[in-house]
Amino acid sequence: MSLSSLLIRTLLCLLLVSTATAELTCWQQVPPVLIRDLWNQSRLLINDLPTENSSVQHRFLPNFCTKCPELVIGWSDMKALIDVYQRSVFKRSAVQKLLPLHYPEMMHRLQHTLQRCVSSSETPKHLKLIQKREQKIEKRLGDKGALKAVEELDFVFSWIDELLHHRVQ
């Protein structure tokens, strides 16, 4: 066997291996069943929120969407939002008391999946806006802000569901 044919065979093997192990996109990795379960559990969680929290008039989440050009949200933005929820919302004692059984584990699984499928070099398009909202929860609003963010979980899971159904990369 000549050196050139050995080199060609080696390159073909490397190409096959790299193609087989290429990173899957988020819509391929995020299990729709997990999103449905989280969405259903979050609706139960929202129903258990104290009624005095609804007096907070401002909205935590911006009016993101998956199709509009001005505030279109992608997987990197979803990862940043889920990270905010994990860091600043679900760690609050007022929220932890209300969390359904296994909810933290399901959120951790979603967060881990998004960390795997979103490139670490990819900066979320709306990172500054998301960071401002997180600072607002932590500094000015405290537990009330965290509970307001929980009220808006439906939006987060509807965006993920749309990204999954539209097979967004």
Where do the domains of the chain lie?
23-165
Comparing 4-8, 45-49, 72-76, 79-83, the range with the smallest average pLDDT is 4-8
* CA proximity to 125, closest of 64, 84, 166: 64
Residue 119, both tokens: 């490139």
Per-residue pLDDT, 81: 94
The arithmetic mean of pLDDT across residues 2-14, rounded, is 54
**Statement: 23-165 belongs to CATH 1.20.1250.10:** yes
CB 43 within 8 A of CB 155: no
pLDDT tens by residue, 51-106: 765 555 677 888 887 777 778 888 999 999 999 999 989 998 889 988 988 899 99
**AA letter at 154:** D
**pLDDT over threshold 50, residue 111:** yes
Per-residue pLDDT, 8: 58
Q: List Cβ neighbours of 146 (8 Å cut-off, separation of 6 or more).
A: 88, 89, 92, 94, 95, 137
**pLDDT over threshold 70, residue 22:** no
Per-residue pLDDT, 21: 35
* CA proximity to 169, closest of 39, 40, 36, 22: 22
Q: What is the value of pTM for the model shown? A: 0.78
* DSSP helix/strand/coil, 28: helix
Residue 50, both tokens: 């104290």
Per-residue pLDDT, 169: 54
Per-residue pLDDT, 20: 38
